[in-house]
């Protein structure tokens, strides 16, 4: 009889559904034979990375046979200066996903719990369940994390709370006073993972800077990434800012060469080009206005977003809209897995891409309803 390998896996992993990424352009090309495709499905930067990156990557090519610097010395030095922290506060990961997973591996185990919000980034649930720890999901309030309810959910078993600020896929955010209040009340031995993957895009006055707060709260860990505003998603590089003991613990379980030389070199020069980041932020602002105004014209509801994406409410099953967009060569993101089957998440693209998405919607919606 064939082996039941699934039964041999740990129970947390048996229950997992693999992460579903945005549909790759090449896949849609293969499936529908389309050539002119735009992808607004993975919150990537439509401007791409800084121009300095290509040159930095070229310089690494002759060294590809060598292992990368596993300590990420240069990038840590650079980031430490940029963030005004010590190198010992930093952990570099293969995307910020990697550091989220490292944190879960270090601190979560069967018998303890992690708390997340309903509609929050699905990786928190994945990394938690993979450890065998219990996942507690707090109902959201108007699609946003309810910090009071989150606090009420904390028990003696709680080891970690995940907060995305802003959250993906909702684009909702938490203001500084609310976050400080929360951090002041949560027990010291509960780790708060503040995921700031979209930090650079947020232009709100009361938006908190997690790195500033981590100096006041030892149990606060901030994660950021080069995948979004820095336009380096394919290179996979992100980081955590934490108490040095937490960084030390993550370093114990981290793969020795978890980040490759190309990514390290790219991140160093990308960090230097803040003008490019600013350009991406401004373009995003304009693109957001373009999309929200189109939604208003079309009578579509949406969740106010401070990220580089907009989540639109079609007030009906969104899958036919998603499929009709695919047929038009426009890839967006269905978010049924986030308990939001009537919504689609759309990444802010270039002005031309946004226009194409809007024009496609205008063609599709009257036919579908």
Ligand X SMILES: Cc1ncc(COP(=O)(O)O)c(C=O)c1O
# chain residues binding ligand X, by CB under 6 A:
13
| 124/358 with CB nearer ligand X | 124
Residue 161 near residue 183, CB atoms below 8 Å: no
Residue 308 and residue 228 in contact, taking contact as beta carbons nearer than 8 Å: yes
Tokens of 23: 């549909």
CB of 2 to ligand X, least distance (A): 36
Identify which of 222, 356, 364 has the alpha carbon closest to the alpha carbon of residue 291.
Answer: 356
Binding flag, residue 233, ligand X (CB under 6 A): yes
Indicate whether 197 belongs to the interface with ligand X (CB under 6 A): yes
Distance CA 271, CA 266 (A): 9
Q: Which is nearer to ligand X, 201 or 360 (CB)?
A: 201
CA 114 to centroid of chain Cα atoms: 18
Say whether residue 96 binds ligand X (CB under 6 A). yes
- DSSP character at residue 201: G
Q: Given the rule CB under 6 A, which of 61-69, 91-99, 144-152, 185-193 is the region that contacts ligand X?
A: 91-99
Among 171, 238, 287, 334, which residue interacts with ligand X (rule: CB under 6 A)?
A: 238
Q: How far is the CB of 195 from ligand X (least distance, A)?
A: 5
Q: Is 43 in the site for ligand X (CB under 6 A)?
A: yes
Nearer to ligand X, 43 or 117 (CB): 43
Q: Which is nearer to ligand X, 122 or 324 (CB)?
A: 122
Indicate the residue among 346 and 358 with the shorter CB distance to ligand X.
346
| Alpha helices in the chain, H assignment, sequence order | 5-8, 11-14, 25-32, 52-60, 73-83, 96-107, 123-131, 147-152, 176-185, 210-214, 244-253, 261-272, 274-298, 319-327, 351-368
For ligand X, the binding residues in 106-125 under the rule CB under 6 A are 121
CA-CA distances (angstroms) from residue 62 to 59, 68, 232, 250, 259?
7, 13, 21, 31, 18
User: Could you tell me what percentage of the chain is helix, strand and coil, using 3-state DSSP and rounding each to the nearest 5?
Assistant: 45, 15, 40
With a CB cutoff of 8 Å and minimum separation 6, the contacts of 259 are 68, 72, 92, 93, 94, 236, 237
**Closest CB 166 distance from ligand X, rounded Å:** 8
Q: Please choose, from the candidates 257, 223, 192, the residue with its C-alpha nearest in 3D space to the C-alpha of residue 100.
A: 223
Does 95 help bind ligand X (rule: CB under 6 A)?
Answer: yes
Interaction between residue 168 and ligand X (CB under 6 A): yes
Contact 75, 193 (CB under 8 A): no
95-103, 199-207, 273-281, 293-301 -> range binding ligand X (CB under 6 A): 95-103
- Tokens 């006055």 correspond to what residue? 205
Residue 126 or 197 with smaller CB distance to ligand X: 197
Task: Output the smallest distance, CB 298 to ligand X, in A.
Answer: 26
Closer residue to ligand X, CB minimum distance, 226 or 322: 226
Between 41 and 321, name the residue whose CB sits nearer to ligand X: 41
Q: Which of 112, 219, 227, 290 binds ligand X (CB under 6 A)?
A: 227
Stretch that binds ligand X, among 93-101, 170-178, 317-325, 347-355 (CB under 6 A): 93-101
Among 97, 118, 145, 242, binds ligand X (CB under 6 A): 97
Q: Is 164 in the site for ligand X (CB under 6 A)?
A: yes
Contact call for residues 177 and 147 (beta carbons, < 8 A)? no
Would you say 164 or 346 has its CB closer to ligand X? Answer: 164
Write out the residues near ligand X by the rule CB under 6 A. 43, 95-97, 121, 164, 168, 195, 197, 225, 227, 233, 238
């Amino acid at each position: 009889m064939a082996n039941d390998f699934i039964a041999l896996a740990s129970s947390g992993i048996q229950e997992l559904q693999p992460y579903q990424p945005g549909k790759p352009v090449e896949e849609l090309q293969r499936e529908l034979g389309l050539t002119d495709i735009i992808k607004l499905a993975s919150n990537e930067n439509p401007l791409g990375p800084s121009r300095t990156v290509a040159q930095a990557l070229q310089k690494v090519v002759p060294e590809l046979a060598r292992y990368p610097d596993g300590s990420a010395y240069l990038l840590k030095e650079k980031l430490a200066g940029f963030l005004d922290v010590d190198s010992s506060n930093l952990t570099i990961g293969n995307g910020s996903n990697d550091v989220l997973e490292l944190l879960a591996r270090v601190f979560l185990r069967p018998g303890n719990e992690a708390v997340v919000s309903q509609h929050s980034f699905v990786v928190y649930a994945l990394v938690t369940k993979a450890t065998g720890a219990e996942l507690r999901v707090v109902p959201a309030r108007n699609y946003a994390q309810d910090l009071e309810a989150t606090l009420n959910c904390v028990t003696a078993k709680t080891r970690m709370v995940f907060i995305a600020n802003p959250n993906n896929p909702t684009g909702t955010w938490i203001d500084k006073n609310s976050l400080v209040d929360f951090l002041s009340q949560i027990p010291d031995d509960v780790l708060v993972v503040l995921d700031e993957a979209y930090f650079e895009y947020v232009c709100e006055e009361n938006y908190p800077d997690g790195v500033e707060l981590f100096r006041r709260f030892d149990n606060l860990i901030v994660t950021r990434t080069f995948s979004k505003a820095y336009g380096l998603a394919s290179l996979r590089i992100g980081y955590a800012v934490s108490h040095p003991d937490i960084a030390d613990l993550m370093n114990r379980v981290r793969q020795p060469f978890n980040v490759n030389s190309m990514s390290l070199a790219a991140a160093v020069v990308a960090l230097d080009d803040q003008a490019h980041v600013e350009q991406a932020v401004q373009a995003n602002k304009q693109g957001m206005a373009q999309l929200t105004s189109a939604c208003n014209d079309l009578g579509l509801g949406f969740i106010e977003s401070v990220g580089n994406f907009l989540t639109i409410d079609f007030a009906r099953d969104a899958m036919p809209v998603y499929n009709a967009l695919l047929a038009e060569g426009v890839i967006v993101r269905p978010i049924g897995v986030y308990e939001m089957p009537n919504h689609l998440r759309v990444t802010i693209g270039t002005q031309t891409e946004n226009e194409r998405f809007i024009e496609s919607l205008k063609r599709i919606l009257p036919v579908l309803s």
